[in-house]
Structure 1
Amino acid sequence: MFTGLISDVGEVGSVEPRGDLRRLRILCSYPVETIAIGASIACNGACLTVVEIDRDRQSNRTWFEVDVGAETLARTTAKQWEPGMQINLERSLKVGDELGGHIVTGHVDAVATIAAIEDFDGMRRFSISVPEDLSRFIAEKGSVSLDGTSLTVNSVDGNLFSILLIPHTLAVTTWASRRAGDSINLEVDLMARYAARLAGIS
């Protein structure tokens, strides 16, 4: 379980195909002694399990490795990750931690697309295009997770919705480098999904 508050921006160090899997090495600033084998880390919003960990002596940064399965490759942007790419990271929520964003599971629903970007007053407004079957879960002033970042929906128009990022969010995530046409991982709000299910909306 996560909150959508990014705690580090990592870098893909290597990508190794292993049959239907891909083994990814990700460099980060987390202290190596604080990460355990089997720990869950959200990488651009996708919950992945740490299978190896050590410290890179050249960069003096921690690295951890994860195995990305066929389902994750099919439903997320992980298939596009290459060495040198930066990704948003968040470690799993612990009992007693502040829930500053919203409840995020790390189970990506689909890949969305940045349709347009507008800059003003140091902020940036993004228009996001989502698959038609998920648009019903997006509500004005509701929550959404995009590349692991907890964000508030400003407006909705069909399968398009907008979000506004403040300078702080742009500075501590990968969002400052995003461009129109980029693919991003989308996780709809968990409460919206359960509400739709209880209401009988398939």
Structure 2
Amino acid sequence: MFTGIIENTGIVESISQSGTNRIFHIKSAIASELNVGESVAHNGVCLTVEPEEGLKEAYRVTAIAETLEKTAIGSLLVGSKINLERALRADGRLDGHFVQGHVDAVGEVDAVLPRDGSTEYWIRYPERHASLLVPQGSICVNGISLTVSGLRENLFAVNIIPHTASITDAGTWQKGTQVNLEFDILGKYILRFLEKRESIR
């Protein structure tokens, strides 16, 4: 379980292929604090930390074929900036919202608009998820807990302040950038309940 509050960022140092799996070698200031087997959200995708021989400032994670197919993690390149968040501690503060690290869909940045004190991003998403978005509701974009500031057909908006842009990968987003989307888990459970109730009437 995560919160969508980015703890640090990493840089993809190298990428290798192992069968249908893709191995990412990540350099980050928190690498030395991680334990092998620990779950860490990488741009909102929960991946398991693996040992990296001889380097305390780096570690590796493996994305299987299904993860590559269903998320935007496969679009990462050497040098890409990546958002990192370790799992929520039982005694930790919940500053964002409940995030599982299970990506629901891949979105695409449709427009980047400068606003007074922030940048507004309009993101296109699959129509089947429309019922999971509400104005001022929570949405996780590339692992970042954000508030939905606008809704149009198959599009939603979020506003990024300069601080968030500087400490996450959001400052690199541009038109066409693919991003991982995880919709609010509470909304998903409510929708599931209503669908099941309707089906037995």
User: What TM-score does the superposition give when structure 1 sets the normalisation length?
Assistant: 0.93
Q: 2:69 aligns with which of 46, 49, 74?
A: 74
Cα pair 2:109 2:177 within 8 Å, conserved: yes
Take 2:126 and 2:31, find their aligned partners in 1: how far apart are those partners? Answer: 38
Is there any run of 5+ residues in structure 1 with no aligned partner, and where?
Answer: none
Take 1:168 and 1:55, find their aligned partners in 2: how far apart are those partners? Answer: 34
Partner of 1:180: 175
Specify whether residues 22 and 155 from structure 1 end up closer, same or farther in structure 2 by C-alpha distance, changes over 3 A only.
Answer: same
Partner of 2:3: 3
Take 2:168 and 2:31, find their aligned partners in 1: how far apart are those partners? Answer: 19
CA drift of 1:55 comes to 6.1
Q: 2:105 aligns with which of 105, 110, 113?
A: 110
**Structure 2 residue 85 is the aligned partner of structure 1 residue 90:** yes
**Misfit runs of 4+, over 2 Å:** 53-56
Amino acid at match of 1:18: S
Specify whether residues 53 and 96 from structure 1 end up closer, same or farther in structure 2 by C-alpha distance, changes over 3 A only.
Answer: farther
Partner of 1:39: 38
CA drift of 1:146 comes to 0.3
Partner of 1:137: 132
Take 2:54 and 2:112, find their aligned partners in 1: how far apart are those partners? Answer: 37
Partner of 1:167: 162
Take 2:38 and 2:125, find their aligned partners in 1: how far apart are those partners? Answer: 30
Specify whether residues 127 and 24 from structure 1 end up closer, same or farther in structure 2 by C-alpha distance, changes over 3 A only.
Answer: same
CA drift of 1:31 comes to 5.2
Partner of 1:195: 190
Deviations 1:137-167 (A, max 9, x none): 1111110000000000012122111111112
Higher strand content, 1 or 2: 1
CA drift of 1:53 comes to 3.8
Take 2:184 and 2:8, find their aligned partners in 1: how far apart are those partners? Answer: 22
Cα pair 1:113 1:181 within 8 Å, conserved: yes
Amino acid at match of 2:68: L
Amino acid at match of 1:72: T
Take 2:48 and 2:194, find their aligned partners in 1: how far apart are those partners? Answer: 34
CA RMSD of aligned residues (A): 1.5
User: What TM-score does the superposition give when structure 2 sets the normalisation length?
Assistant: 0.94
Cα pair 2:107 2:179 within 8 Å, conserved: yes
Identity of aligned residues (%): 37
Q: 1:147 aligns with which of 142, 145, 149?
A: 142
Take 2:21 and 2:173, find their aligned partners in 1: how far apart are those partners? Answer: 27
Amino acid at match of 1:6: I
CA drift of 1:23 comes to 1.2
